[in-house]
């Protein structure tokens, strides 16, 4: 009877859309890293150095330098 009617549009769940975007970005980054000439270990070392520099700069601005050791804090949980 109403064969020419257009069915209602199916809306994709927002989390599914975000998952697709994340998966696509991860694949793009993986391809760039794999095709690049820089070894992963060098990239990781530069990343850690950059994070350390940011952490040091942040604490120096406050007038103190935070230091952490394996025996400080709540290593192993609080229970």
Q: What is the pLDDT of residues 1-54, one digit of tens each?
A: 556 677 777 888 999 999 999 999 999 988 887 888 888 888 889 999 998 888
Is the pLDDT score of 65 beyond 80?
no
pTM attached to this predicted model: 0.38
Query: Could you identify the residue written with the tokens 């025996």?
Result: 71
Neighbours of 18 (CB within 10 A): 10
Give domain limits for the chain: 14-61
- DSSP per-residue letters across 22-77: HHHHHHHHHHHHHHSSS-HHHHHHHHHHHHHHHHHHHHHHTT------TTSS-TT-
């Amino acid at each position: 009877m109403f064969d020419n009617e257009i069915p209602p549009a199916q809306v994709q769940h927002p989390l599914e859309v975000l998952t697709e975007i994340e998966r696509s970005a991860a694949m793009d980054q993986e391809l760039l890293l794999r095709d690049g000439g820089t070894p992963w270990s060098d990239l990781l070392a530069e990343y850690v150095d950059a994070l350390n520099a940011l952490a040091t700069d942040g604490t120096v601005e406050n007038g103190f330098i935070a230091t952490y050791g394996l025996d400080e804090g709540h290593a192993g949980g609080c229970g």
